[in-house]
Amino acid sequence: MTYLITLLVYAAVDAMACVGLSLQFGVAGVTNFGFIIFQAAGAYVAAILALPAQSANGAFQHYIGGWNLPFPLPWLGAAAAGAILALPFTFLVGRRLRGDFAAIGLLVTAVLLNLLVMNYVPLFNGDAGLAIVPAPLQSQVMTTTATGYQWGFTVGVIVLVAAVYWLARRLTESPFGRTLRAMRDNDKVADSLGKNLLQLRTGMLVVGGAIAGLSGGVLVSFISVWSPAAWTYAETVVLFAAVIIGGRGNHLGAVLGAIIVPVGFEESTRLITNANPSLPPNLLPSLQWVAIGLLIALFLWFRPQGVLPERKRVIAVPEQPATAGAIIRPRTPPAGDPAEHDAILQAIDVSRDFGGVKAVSGVSLSVARGTLTGLIGPNGAGKSTLLAVLAGTDRATSGTIRYEGQDVTGLPAYRRARLGLVRTFQLASEFKRLTVMENLLSAAPGNRGDTMRGALYGRRYWKNDEQATIGRAADILRRFGLTDLTNSYAGDLSGGQRRLVEIMRALMTDPAMLLLDEPMAGVHPELAHRIGEMLTQLSRDGLTVLMVEHELAIMDEFCDPVIVMADGAVLAQGTMAQLRDRAEVVEAYLVG
């Protein structure tokens, strides 16, 4: 009986931790190789909150605190400790650092914190660790070893796991969760669509940290001891193995993985050892780690989606169009000079150097409101770099960028996107494991469920916003003739269809100006023509477009004016007809 209880509590603690990791890694794509330190922090804090002062037990162990606090304060403290510990790592998860470098930073932190806690005795009794941590309500019940108490504890912990699971699901199955998944699939694109990556990732580190901390608090009050040997860096790998095998992004899979990997492995090792007492003591635990390493590699190769894959979110398309007219909101230009062609975007002497190479040098240009402006130039002219600098996905080395009369040079991409200045990418940039509909929905601003708090309030809080957004997305899909693909994964589409998804998604942000990087590259000529007509229609509705394109026939038909770049500088500007008459343009581009 005791064995069954122990098994259940271990399974529950592992399941809780795995759900936290599944949120971080599976949903948000934050690879936290230091996950175990958050569990450790929760365990230590719960222990010192529950323990009496160190002198009470004859000072046989040393630790800070010792507040002798009643249940449930130690568990709450454990969750808080995990959450607070996440904050110093914020600097690792911003826009600048590669995800794998950040993961290594966290891994090394886990290795080092373990070493420090092991060696510094006054903090948590060093290598020996803390012992005789009181169980919840220990002083109120006669004996904590009674079966009744043990079962009560077990049921309580399972209820707690259910609560954590419910919370994780609520976050995941919301517009906020969709944003997290979009960031996971392509963070740079999510940034360009107005998502604040730093805030999102910090949020997930904190939530995952709190869940990990709580699991540590529960564990320590059950086993009553906690030492550095319980949280070596490799323990994180076990949890990763569990989430990968169970199915990342599917929290039920994470629970399943927790039961298969940590619990299953520990128990089978124990059973084999009991049956064969003559085996060397180190052999089976070592082989167990080898097996975990093998399982990770084999699953990532043969079944990367895990036993229970992330499920598809199918969304029904409303029959009736939500709006009859334009698919973008008509924008009124800011008050002031109503000159017919006032500039919406201006670049003033903008340069971008890459270690001495001037990709863009001293470009000044101005894009007039409501135009479909083309940007052409030979390969390496700096067109894509200029576009990136204008959108904020790359920084200008010098110069000023003004948008709607405001200096936006220092604003990151997501802030410019929120002002209505949105770019698309030259390379495929769809969110692969989101459906076409979800790709569109993820870009819509202002959904009440697209914040952590809104998601926690639940579906009723954001249902109306969601319905309105779905209606708008359905209208755009209808306009582009892609209703049939609504619930297809974007990663399964053809190259041309992906370009369309990208344009539609950009339109969902409700932009005032689109920066398109070769939107028709690799697209069937007929489809390219339709995209051109669509853009013309949109610019009549008030949208401004700056478009990089190689196909001169497209420029001839749709773009006016056209800007020519060569060697990082603007060479000329005018209608295509005018440009064809200019010798230096013809020499730089049209011939060579």
Partner 1 sequence: MTIFLASVGFGLLTAAVLAIAAVGFTLQFAVTDVLNLAFAAVMTAGAFTAYGVNKAGVSVWVGLLVAMAVCAALSVLLNVFVYAPFQRRGSAPITIVIVSLGMALIIGFGIEAIVGGVNVSYAMSQGRTWHAAGLILTTVQFVIIGISLVVMVAAHLTLRYTKLGKSMRATAANRQLARNCGIRTGRVITITWAATGALAGLAGTIFAIDIGSFGPTSTNLFVVLILAAVFLGGPGHAYGAMLGALLIGVATEVSAAYIVPSYKYVIAFVVLLAMLAVRPTGLFGART
Which of 53, 56, 87, 116 is in the footprint of partner 1 by CB under 8 A? 116
277 contributes a contact to partner 1 by CB under 8 A: no
DSSP-derived pairing of the beta strands 398-403 and 343-354: antiparallel
303 contributes a contact to partner 1 by CB under 8 A: no
Which of 119, 406, 464, 494 is in the footprint of partner 1 by CB under 8 A? 119
268 contributes a contact to partner 1 by CB under 8 A: no
- In sequence order, the 6+-apart residues with CB closer than 8 A to the CB of 280 are none
DSSP-derived pairing of the beta strands 372-376 and 421-423: unpaired
56 contributes a contact to partner 1 by CB under 8 A: no
Beta bridge partners of 473: none
Distance between CA atoms of residues 141 and 532, nearest Å: 76
Subset of residues 328 to 387 that bind partner 1, contact rule: CB under 8 A:
354-355
Which of 53, 64, 115, 577 is in the footprint of partner 1 by CB under 8 A? 115
52 contributes a contact to partner 1 by CB under 8 A: no
Distance between CA atoms of residues 133 and 49, nearest Å: 9
282 contributes a contact to partner 1 by CB under 8 A: yes
Which of 103, 211, 218, 408 is in the footprint of partner 1 by CB under 8 A? 103
- The candidate with the shortest Cα–Cα distance to 482, out of 469, 491, 473, is 473
- The candidate with the shortest Cα–Cα distance to 256, out of 268, 265, 246, is 246
Q: Which residue has the tokens 């002219």?
A: 381
287 contributes a contact to partner 1 by CB under 8 A: yes
Distance between CA atoms of residues 356 and 568, nearest Å: 13
Which of 41, 258, 292, 515 is in the footprint of partner 1 by CB under 8 A? 292
Q: Based on CB atoms, which residue is closest to partner 1, 432 or 479? A: 432
577 contributes a contact to partner 1 by CB under 8 A: no
Give the tokens for residue 466: 């969601």
Count of alpha carbons within 13 angstroms of residue 420, beta-carbon side: 21
254 contributes a contact to partner 1 by CB under 8 A: no
- In sequence order, the 6+-apart residues with CB closer than 8 A to the CB of 3 are none
We find the least distance from the C-beta atom of residue 142 to partner 1, in angstroms, to be 42
Beta bridge partners of 423: 515
Which of 294, 316, 553, 577 is in the footprint of partner 1 by CB under 8 A? 294
87 contributes a contact to partner 1 by CB under 8 A: no
280 contributes a contact to partner 1 by CB under 8 A: yes
- How crowded is residue 313: how many other Cβ atoms within 10 Å of its Cβ? 16
112 contributes a contact to partner 1 by CB under 8 A: yes
Which of 33, 35, 226, 558 is in the footprint of partner 1 by CB under 8 A? 33
Q: What is the DSSP string of 22-57?
A: IIIIIIT----TTHHHHHHHHHHHHHHHHSPPGGGG
398 contributes a contact to partner 1 by CB under 8 A: no
240 contributes a contact to partner 1 by CB under 8 A: yes
Distance between CA atoms of residues 297 and 192, nearest Å: 33
110 contributes a contact to partner 1 by CB under 8 A: no
Q: Contact residues for partner 1 (CB under 8 A)?
A: 31, 33, 91-92, 96-105, 107-109, 111-112, 115-116, 119, 233-234, 237, 240-241, 244, 280, 282-283, 286-290, 292-297, 300-301, 304, 354-355
